[in-house]
Structure 1
Amino acid sequence: MYCLQAVIVTEPARSRLLDAFEGARLVSLGQNLSLMPVTETRFDTGPLAACSAHGAVAYVEAEYFGGAGTQSAQVWERGETVLGPLHVDEDEPDPADGSPISQALRRLGVLKGDHFDEFDAVGLGRHRYTDDWLSA
């Protein structure tokens, strides 16, 4: 089982995100990005648009079990949605330009280099279990 529900923020918007979500914990992903877990069942994306006035912000979700799953992503910049919302169901192939999360990461400036994709380039696989990486 793999479940990721998080906000990914660029450095310029990092402090605004911390101000908007009291008690938020951020983890560095590299490539000038930070990851904030979303632990609430219902998450209001309104503050993300406001934070994006200072730098790009993405909301991402992934849920997989036994290799099958879904992905969703949306990106805001300058207070506006600039990508998405994107969604791929478990029975759908990824779009030609990559999975929703990889597209969002690319919009945030991630370079995949020699990695399989942008998801792999920032090591999102190591954040598969929110409780585990939050307590580390």
Structure 2
Amino acid sequence: MYCLETVIAGDEVLRRLAGDVVDARIVALHGSLSLLPMTDEYFDAVAVRGSPISQALRALGVRRGSHLDEFDAAGLGRHRRTEDWLVTPNE
């Protein structure tokens, strides 16, 4: 199994998120969506200002406090890894 961490949104949104990260790669998907892989370089760049989701949650009034980030502070941390969403038949 391969897990890919990415941001999926419209191309214009991803170009703004990529900002000045030289190696950021935006990949077109079906329809009007594209994806931006969370490479180490891109992750390091956004870690300073927070992930796009954390930035949105901050704009909605969520405060990080002692949590890892705003995503965790909002109680969403348990959904951080998509492989944890799957339930195998033996569970």
TM-score normalised by L of structure 2: 0.46
**Could you say which structure has the larger radius of gyration?**
2
**Hey, which of these two has a bigger chunk of strand by percent?**
1
**Hey, which of these two has a bigger chunk of helix by percent?**
2
User: Which protein, 1 or 2, shows the higher relative CO under an 8 Å CA cutoff with sep ≥ 6?
Assistant: 1
